[in-house]
Amino acid sequence: MEVTGSRACEGERVAQGSIEAYRSALRTMWPASPEPRLHVSRTSGFRSARPTVSFYVLPNSVSPRMLVPANNPTAAARSMQRFSAALSAPDTAKRLAVSALLRSHSAAMFPHRMEVQESAGSFREWLTDLFGEHVDFSLALGTARVNRKPVLQVFDRRGRSLAFVKLGPTAVAAAHVSAEAEALKVLGVSGPISGIHVPTILHAGHWQDSVVLVMSALETSRWQNPSRQWTVPHRAMRSLHGHFAGPPQTFATMPFRKSMTVAVESLPSSPAQDRLGVALQRLDALAGDLELIPGAWHGDWTPWNMARRRGRLQLWDWERFELGVPGGLDRCHYGVNAVCRRDGVSPGSVLAGLRLAEVDPHASTPEGRPLAAAYLAAVTCRYLVGAELEPGGAGRNRGLTMLEALCTLLHVS
């Protein structure tokens, strides 16, 4: 379908903003260099008297998803070999095909390049010093949200993967990177968790004004069996929760519940805040004196944040990790996000996701309505608080949808 008029202009603005986000990330990592330049050509690129770092823009500069090193074909090829449980068979096949083209030096197939002049004091130079050898890296950015951050996969000259790096150049992104570093520290000292493989910290600190987290690279397998993304990994989730289990306590006294009060009080006065406050009161009444085992949850356990390899689950993106929570939250989150990704975000999709997680929101057992309500309250707080940092963002709409599902569940008008 042809798009004309204002919609076409809007599409162009979105595309420009997207490639500009990558240009901005390169400016952050090469602060002393001239402006990074987008180059579209079937030839080798710009001629420069100074050393130039060149990246292929994949799939193209109109809808960029990743920058991969143009001067290191093996590293570029391996950049595409990141597989999660959420990938479909066609998506996996496309990644493998692109990887093969990159490895075969088929430069003409990737005419869109971003190039930046190397300079002293760059982040690449800092990484080279950190690893004690010359490095290249690929660069990906997450969804265009306030916590968006550069994520790098670092390679040596031979194209071997050395690490993943997260860079927090803004206050919000820095807070998320710091939170993940703290989570990985806790996980590291707690000992291995049965059935789960977690990245380890190689370095955590600062570069210039940015928070930096350098982690071991999890080598994922292409053999993910896409249909298994609809199988919630209950055993691994129980393993994580139980690994940090504490003595039983009532829901009202859990740190998890107290954090909700802090979240609601931080929100500006509004009908949504009022409804959320009433919903929390109803949740307290529903939970009553029920004693629960506090433990841990990953906080963002979804099919795209995990992979299966050699009988173990590989799990990444730990910035939402939290202790002192009731069991079952991860499976709720997994089910709800899997269904909402497929069917769109709506109260109906949320309830369908809970059913996928084997949580009956109408059952009065601890594994039913109280668990569903506790999960929905937690993510409603998360999204609405986050929306205050990103007015007009998708997070607010998602938060209001979760609030609607919560209020329906607890009969809040």
First to last CA, the chain: 42
Domain count within the chain = 2
* Residue 403 domain-assigned (yes or no): yes
Q: What is the pLDDT of residue 11?
A: 33
Is residue 140 domain-shared with residue 238, that is, in the same domain?
no
Same domain, 149 and 269: no
Give this prediction's pTM. 0.91
Query: What is the CATH classification number for the domain harbouring 377?
Result: 3.90.1200.10
Average pLDDT of the chain is: 91
**Which pLDDT belongs to residue 44?**
55
Helix, strand, coil percent values for the chain (each to nearest 5): 45, 20, 35
Do 105 and 164 lie in one domain? The reply is yes
Q: 365: which DSSP letter?
A: S
The reply to whether 198 and 257 lie within a common domain is no
Residue 295 vs residues 113, 243, 254, 380: alpha-carbon distances, Å: 47, 7, 10, 21
**In this predicted structure, what is the pLDDT of residue 3?**
31
> 57 and 177 in one domain?
yes
| Same domain, yes or no: 153 and 121 | yes
Q: Which whole number is the average pLDDT over 269-284? A: 96
pLDDT of residue 49: 54
Q: What confidence tier does 197 reach under pLDDT thresholds 50, 70, 90? A: very high
The span from the CA of 117 to the CA of 232, in Å, is 46
Query: What was the pLDDT predicted at 196?
Result: 97
- Residue 202 banded pLDDT, cuts 50, 70, 90: very high
pLDDT at 392: 62
Q: Given pLDDT bands bounded at 50, 70 and 90, which one contains residue 9?
A: very low
Among residues 148, 181, 215, the one where a domain terminates is 215
In a domain, 7, yes or no: no
Residue 158 lies in a domain: yes
Residue 368 inside a domain? The answer is yes
Does a structural domain hold residue 33? no
* 15 against 137, higher pLDDT: 137
Higher-pLDDT residue of 166 and 289 is 166
State the residue range of the domain holding 306: 226-410
Q: At 334, is the pLDDT very low, low, confident or very high (cuts 50, 70, 90)?
A: very high
**Judging by beta carbons within 10 Å of its beta carbon (0-12, 13-18, 19+), is residue 399 exposed, middle or buried?**
buried
Q: How far is CA 317 from the centre of its chain?
A: 5
Task: Tell me: do 294 and 370 sit in the same domain.
Answer: yes
Residues 145 and 261 in one domain: no
| Rounded distance between C-alpha atoms, residue 394 and residue 413, angstroms | 24
